[in-house]
Amino acid sequence: MNAASAGHRVTTRHAQAIYPFMASGGLGGRGTYIGRDANGGAFCFDPWVLYDDGVLDDPNAIVIGKLGQGKSALVKTLLWRMLLFGRRAFVLDVKREYGALCASVGVKPVSLTPGGGVRLNPLSARPEEHAQIELLRAIATTALGEALNQVESSVLREALRTVRARETEPTLPLITAVMFNPSAEMAARLQTSQEQLAADGRRAALALQDLCEGPLKGLFDGPTSPGIDLDSRLLVLDLHAVRDSPAVGILMACATAWMSAQFARMAGRPGRERLINVADESWKIIQHGGLGEWFQSNFKLARQFGVMNLVVLHKLGDLQAAGDAGSRAARIAEGLIADASTRVIYHQDESQVGATRELLGLSETEAQLLTELRPGQALWRVGSRSFIVQHQRSRIEHALTDTDTGMRINAR
């Protein structure tokens, strides 16, 4: 063999310069153990540590993966391990998948079922008037199916102010009643008559009334039910009973608003715990214009509250399906992606690779690897760094994260 054709021998330490993406170092040993990276080293992750180190701009994360590739197992394992280290978690569960995890932690899911006896008051989410009116308008817009006009928006504002002055806790039924029968003070503030004010706000009032007395009756039409343990390490809201309802987007937003109340309250505690907020199928919120804008603004509060928002999707097309290209819903969906500094992508079909690469800003090499990933293996984009990580679970964690029981012949 002549010198021109001779191979070049180097150590693996020097060989990483040839293919730096595959040989990138890990994120350090601080954080929750996830598994092994492509080099065989331990891969650990903690968004708050990485934020302090300047690696991340925010603690938010998006997990994307088709069925059977391991995204649900990753989320449950991540929660289980973070709970062991003193973190806390809130979960919107639309598939009833978190029962085993709840049992292991020693808590029960909170099942939201029309007429089931458990109520959550979304207007107790934030004590500030401006925050309550913002959510109230978003709910009314979604219930109507179109934007509020200026008069309706003003009637909602004045109705909320009236209820806040009379009651310690505003609720949707109380606000609806005031809109049907506005006070003389409300009419004077808006320089109109009580009769005209009732007529102007009737359309929005009827929409809120139907929300309280229609398919979602008993869920959001009163003060929050007593007995819900707000200080538990894990709080799971089970939305399975209404997952196919056309009103599920409103329900998810109201539940998210209620959770946000807890975030805000905990943010004021000395030595507060870090929180993980898991929202599955969030695109059902985003597809509603008013709720989508509210949800995006809530997403942006992650740094203020010290919350890791964790959005779980089958594919990025789920978010894109929220609206046509260039629409408000589509822009909101793209904004959520931009506000998540951590993206975990499992195996993607060839048809999804182009859109995934464009929306996430992947390199050609990263995009190509998405079609070659095996179950349990994912591309982690953490800030500007990339890793191929094989998720590893213990025997106990396999039992906690198993979602295939129903497909087994011997399942009981």
End-to-end CA distance of the chain: 65
Which residues pair with residue 235 across a beta bridge? 90
205 versus 403: which is more confidently predicted?
A: 205
User: Is residue 273 within 8 Å of 87, Cβ to Cβ?
Assistant: yes
Least Cα distance to 200 among 151, 145, 156 occurs for 151
Query: In this model, does residue 21 exceed pLDDT 50?
Result: no
The span from the CA of 265 to the CA of 277, in Å, is 15
Eight-state DSSP code of residue 321: T
User: Is 98 in the same domain as 241?
Assistant: yes
User: Is residue 172 within 8 Å of 211, Cβ to Cβ?
Assistant: yes
The span from the CA of 175 to the CA of 164, in Å, is 9
Query: In this model, does residue 412 exceed pLDDT 80?
Result: no
User: Considering the chain, what is the average pLDDT of its residues?
Assistant: 81
**pLDDT tier, 22 (very low <50, low <70, confident <90, very high otherwise):** very low
The span from the CA of 169 to the CA of 148, in Å, is 24
H-run or E-run covering 411: none
User: Is 374 in the same domain as 331?
Assistant: yes
User: Is 239 in the same domain as 92?
Assistant: yes
User: Is 45 in the same domain as 100?
Assistant: yes
The span from the CA of 207 to the CA of 255, in Å, is 19
User: Is 254 in the same domain as 387?
Assistant: yes
pLDDT tens, position by position, 341-374: 999 999 988 888 888 888 888 889 999 899 999 9
250 lies in some domain: yes
pLDDT tens, position by position, 297-337: 767 777 777 788 888 877 766 665 555 555 666 677 677 77
User: Is 174 in the same domain as 97?
Assistant: no
User: Is 380 in the same domain as 340?
Assistant: yes
- Of 107-111, 202-206, 230-234, 348-352, least confident by mean pLDDT is 230-234
User: Is 147 in the same domain as 171?
Assistant: yes
37 lies in some domain: yes
- Compute φ and ψ for 54, nearest 5 degrees: 80, 10
In this prediction, residue 375 carries a pLDDT of 93
The span from the CA of 317 to the CA of 359, in Å, is 10
81 lies in some domain: yes
Pick from 54-68, 123-137, 152-166, 329-343 the range whose average pLDDT is largest: 152-166
User: Is 99 in the same domain as 181?
Assistant: no
User: Is 390 in the same domain as 258?
Assistant: yes
- Domain tally for the chain? 2
User: Is 255 in the same domain as 395?
Assistant: yes
9 lies in some domain: no
Domain of residue 336, CATH code:
3.40.50.300
248 lies in some domain: yes
User: Is 164 in the same domain as 291?
Assistant: no
- Of 99-113, 127-141, 294-308, least confident by mean pLDDT is 294-308
For 68, other C-beta atoms within 10 Å of its C-beta total: 13
4 lies in some domain: no
Query: In this model, does residue 71 exceed pLDDT 70?
Result: yes
244 lies in some domain: yes
Over residues 386-393, mean pLDDT = 95
In this prediction, residue 240 carries a pLDDT of 82
In this prediction, residue 86 carries a pLDDT of 85
- Domain of residue 77 covers 26-110+234-402
223 lies in some domain: no
Query: In this model, does residue 406 exceed pLDDT 50?
Result: no
In this prediction, residue 186 carries a pLDDT of 95
